[in-house]
Amino acid sequence: MKDAAPTTAPETFYLKDYKPFGFEVEAVELTFKLAPNSTRVLSKIRFAPKENAADPRFFLHGEALKLISAKIDGAPVTPELIAGGLICDTPDTPFTWEAEVEIDPAANTALEGLYMSSGMYCTQCEAEGFRKITYYPDRPDVMSTFSVRIEGNEKVLLSNGNPTGSGDGWAEWHDPWPKPAYLFALVAGDLVNHPDSFTTRSGKDVELNIWVRPGDEGKCAFGMEALKKSMKWDEDVYGREYDLDIFNIVAVDDFNMGAMENKGLNIFNSSCVLASPETSTDANFERIEAIIAHEYFHNWTGNRITCRDWFQLCLKEGLTVFRDAQFTADMRSEPVKRIEDVIALRARQFPEDNGPLAHPPRPEQFQEINNFYTATVYEKGAEVIGMLKRLVGDENYAAALDLYFDRHDGQACTIEDWLKVFEDATGRDLSQFKLWYSQAGTPRVQVSEDYADGRYTLTFEQSTPPTPGQHDKAPRVIPIAVGLLSPNGGEVRATEVLELTEAKQSFTFDGIAAKPVPSILREFSAPVILERETTNAERAFLLAHDTDPFNRWEAGNALATETRVSMVTEGAAPDGAYLDALEKLVRDDTLDPAFRALVLSPPSQSEIAQSLHDRGVTPDPQKIYDAAETFAQTLAQQLETSLPRLYAATTVDGPYQPDAHGAGLRALNGRILSLLTRLDGGEQAARQYQAADNMTQQYAALASLMKAENGESQSQAFFDQWQSDRLVMDKWFALQVACAAPDAAAGVASDLTGHALFDMKNPNRFRAVMGALAGNHAGFHHVSGAGYQLLAKNLIALDSLNPQTTARMCAAFQTWKRYDSARQALIRVELERILATEGLSRDTHEMVSRILQG
């Protein structure tokens, strides 16, 4: 029953080897007889052989299944069980395949297929989990209708589509929309619902439910509002209506990812749907709204139009991330969302694209597809769509999307299909643009300028460093949004989009009275690294005057990085001009508080490490940490007289509301509080902790106090108050590690793994501790190597239980080549130790080998 361990390197799958399945699947009927250790799954599937099939073999995937019986057209058959599935002789004409298998959901700690979480049954089939439920062509280009019967004693029995009947101990569902198996879902448990309804624009009533464990019903209202807003938005902006009578969302405690878009039955990590003011922060509320939208939007971009194969993953994920970002921008603030996304892109995607795990948004090979749900596929995949929209314009984008939905509804598609609708809608040749899908690596764009006789010239040169398996890179199409400012701050040229297509290319602007200050890559119009020789004075000018809010923030971010770098490399003091500029901005009440909070948030220490590495300096994590501390301390002193007033001015009165404006104020208030705590030793934070009636303020106060090593009593109080709330306890676990000093972080994390409430089988809890360790830059990279050792030890322990989560967390080591040889040697030992583990999963094997080789 257990998966065999790879003895040699696992099999590699290639995009170029794609062959369609040799049979049509006309209808699938499934019966589940639920039992924790011995669930029986009966399948009855109508297959029709295709004429001239490229691969006529009848192969069904299957993993960890006990085959009880198999029949074709009612007669028993004996299929041959082979690696990863079975093969069987079949008639040349349409036939009915029936099989009965037994599976063990209670023993399923990998959380793929059918498993149990807090006493309920649930499923996770994407990408290749359905093969752990029954024998089936488990590939996204095989689409069929599903009818499901569930037999079990649980109060609630759910599957995809519309309910067709139920009685004591059973329920039946039918999903009329053909779908791939990865969108199958089943949930059974003693759940309670938060019901609502939505009327579509064509007047159809849809029943909506959020299903949770008893006790959580008070945490559903926000998610439900987010769902209704998403449904309305997709109608208004993309003209897409919902297509079933019912839409169910279920919250589960044990889940590898954030959430899953199963047709009509979305399954959510409880952390991504349950929300209340007392237990969730503003950041949680924003994330919940976005992820509910994301999974809902998949109904059209993913479900109605799905992927031909998993190499095309960004077809649905890049597009759906792009759509959920548009939604969040519309619901909240467009510039703030853009800045947040670029921060995330640089924190997660740039390291990936510039290290051993670099791969194109459409990879051409994989060993384990779960390892390719990456920042590159998702975030860069979304950036590519943003560039496409910028290049063709909003109207053409809308026309291309209409064509995409018209032409491909009900199909399993490729990136070629996607680009073709843009070519057909606009007449544009996108062959060069397509390189964005096949080339890995972040382009570097060098800019130089020239001004003479009223003519201003910008010259761009692009190049992309080699990435694993890809050495020569061709120039790409790069949309560069540029505006020009006059030296006294006015805009002399509004934003226009320059299309860079050559390795080197110049653009001229005539009739410019005085040498302008350029604002380049406005709105971060392309996911590139801009290299330009400029001065801090010019950056400060842009920080004060740029009309593009993104570039305004960007100028501040560059100044922050520059000063941090010179503090580390030259022992310089924090840059006075930058401190002055920050002070001015923070006190400028005309600016959006959320924007001010972002300007006040320093670049991460990992980002500074990358910056140093890019400049040829080996980063010393301890020095980067010290510089961050010194900078924050100096800023606090500079702002000393204004902090109390700013604190008061940003305190939101009245009952907590998770709206964008209040959240922005609280974010700024939290930044102020952390600075204030450096001066008053935590007096204000302690008062705020006492008075807080919402998690955002309680958490901000606790974080400030713990950072100041003065929060022991509050940390204990927090634990006492929330110990029976798992999601809040995840915050508590993470905060202990995140706030620990560099030399203490590994010890704190290690102690927490021995805590009575630590549970390695729960991905949220494991990530709370180990993710926080990896995120504590100076702690993880402490010269003792204790951070590396602890993470490796825990990854090895988790691997046999949950390969998917283990493999994802290996990415913490992907930046290892940035650091000094002593640290590299320490990391290498740990990576090799992981790789040498007997029975290592193919997920983790692939990740660690790639990190070592790159």
Instruction: Tell which one of 104, 261, 352, 353 touches ligand BES (CB under 6 A).
Output: 261
Q: Which strand (E) or helix (H) includes residue 101? A: strand 95-103
Binds ligand BES by CB under 6 A, chosen from 128, 254, 309, 317: 317
The torsion region of residue 448 among left (phi > 0), alpha (psi -120 to 50) and beta comes to: beta
> Shortest approach of ligand BES to residue 248 CB, angstroms?
16
Report if residue 321 touches ligand BES, rule: CB under 6 A: yes
Q: Which contacts (CB < 8 Å, 24+ apart) does range 495-501 have?
A: 495/522, 495/548, 497/390, 497/391, 497/525, 498/458, 498/460, 499/391, 500/445, 500/460, 500/462, 500/475, 501/432, 501/475, 501/476, 501/477
CA angle centred on 614, ends 612 and 616, rounded to 5° = 75
Q: What is the CA radius of gyration of the chain?
A: 27
Instruction: Tell me if 521 contacts ligand BES by CB under 6 A.
Output: no
Site string for ligand BES, 541-580 (x = CB under 6 A): ----------------------------------------
CB of 284 to ligand BES, least distance (A): 13
Shortest reach from residue 123's CB to ligand BES, in Å: 11
Q: Does residue 257 interact with ligand BES by CB under 6 A? A: yes
- Piece of the chain touching ligand BES by CB under 6 A; list 72-80, 286-294, 435-443, 578-586: 286-294
Q: Which of residues 686-725 bind ligand BES (CB under 6 A)?
A: none
Q: Is 627 in the site for ligand BES (CB under 6 A)?
A: no
- Name which of ligand BES, Zn ion, none residue 259 binds, using a CB cut-off of 5 to 8 Å depending on partner kind: ligand BES
How far, in Å, CA of 625 to CA of 813, rounded?
19
* Pick 289 or 830: Cβ nearer ligand BES: 289
Residue 127 binds: one of ligand BES, Zn ion, none (C-beta under 5 to 8 A by kind): ligand BES
Q: Which is nearer to ligand BES, 290 or 663 (CB)?
A: 290
The nearest distance, CB 421 to Zn ion, in angstroms, is 20
Neighbour count for residue 802 (Cβ, 10 Å)? 24
Minimum CB–partner distance for residue 311 and Zn ion (Å) = 16
Site string for Zn ion, 462-491 (x = CB under 5 A): ------------------------------
Q: How far is the CB of 86 from ligand BES (least distance, A)?
A: 24
Looking at 76-84, 293-301, 409-417, 591-599, which segment touches ligand BES (CB under 6 A)? 293-301
Scanning residues 318 to 377, which ones bind Zn ion (CB under 5 A)? 320
Please say whether the dihedral angle defined by the alpha carbons of residues 113, 792, 351 and 555, taken in this order, is positive or negative. positive
Residue 507: alpha-carbon gap to chain centroid: 36
> How many residues interact with ligand BES (rule CB under 6 A)?
17
Q: Provide the strand spans (E) within 453-567.
A: 455-463, 478-485, 491-500, 504-509, 517-520, 529-532
737 binds, among ligand BES, Zn ion, none (CB under 5 to 8 A by kind): none
- Spatial CA neighbour of 35 closest among 130, 121, 118, 134: 121
Is the CB of 29 or the CB of 317 nearer to Zn ion?
317
Name which of ligand BES, Zn ion, none residue 291 binds, using a CB cut-off of 5 to 8 Å depending on partner kind: ligand BES
Q: What phi-psi label fits residue 397: left (phi over 0), alpha (psi between -120 and 50 degrees) or beta?
A: alpha
Strands 517-520 and 478-485: antiparallel
Answer yes or no: 832 catalytic: no
Token look-up 């769509």 returns 385
- Does 373 bind ligand BES (CB under 6 A)? Our answer is yes
Position with the least CB separation from ligand BES: 258
For the window 308-327, what string marks contact with Zn ion as x by the rule CB under 5 A?
A: ---------x--x-------
**Selected catalytic residue, list 295, 340, 383, 554:** 295
The residue (of 98 and 261) whose beta carbon lies closer to ligand BES is 261
- Residue 299 binds what, of ligand BES, Zn ion, none (CB under 5 to 8 Å, by partner type)? none
Q: What are the residues whose beta carbons fall under 8 Å from the beta carbon of 580, sequence distance 6 or more? A: none
**How many residues are there in the chain?**
854
Using the rule CB under 6 A, give the single segment among 67-75, 252-260, 350-358, 745-753 that binds ligand BES: 252-260
Q: Does 295 bind ligand BES (CB under 6 A)?
A: yes
Phi/psi for 10 (5° steps) reads -65, 160
Determine the straight-line distance between the first and last CA of the chain, rounded to whole angstroms: 34
Phi and psi (nearest 5°) for 135? -70, 130
CB nearer to ligand BES: give 259 or 609: 259
Candidates 274-282, 370-378, 563-571, 840-848: pick the segment binding ligand BES (CB under 6 A): 370-378
Q: Please, which of residues 106-145 interact with ligand BES by CB under 6 A?
A: 126-127
How far is Cα 106 from Cα 103, in angstroms, rounded to an integer? 9
Distance of CA 159 to the CA centre of its chain: 26
- Tell me the window of 253-261, 344-352, 450-458, 679-687 that interacts with ligand BES (CB under 6 A): 253-261
Give the residues across from 250 on adjacent strands.
211, 267
The amino acid at 756: A
Long-range contacts of 287-290 (CB under 8 A, 24+ apart): 288/222, 288/223, 288/226, 289/222, 289/226, 289/229, 289/328, 289/331, 290/324, 290/325, 290/327, 290/328
d(CA 796, CA 750): 14
Please give the residue ranges that form the binding site for ligand BES (CB under 6 A).
126-127, 257-261, 290-291, 294-295, 298, 317, 321, 370, 373, 378
Q: Which residues bind Zn ion (CB under 5 A)?
A: 317, 320
Q: Which residues are catalytic?
A: 295
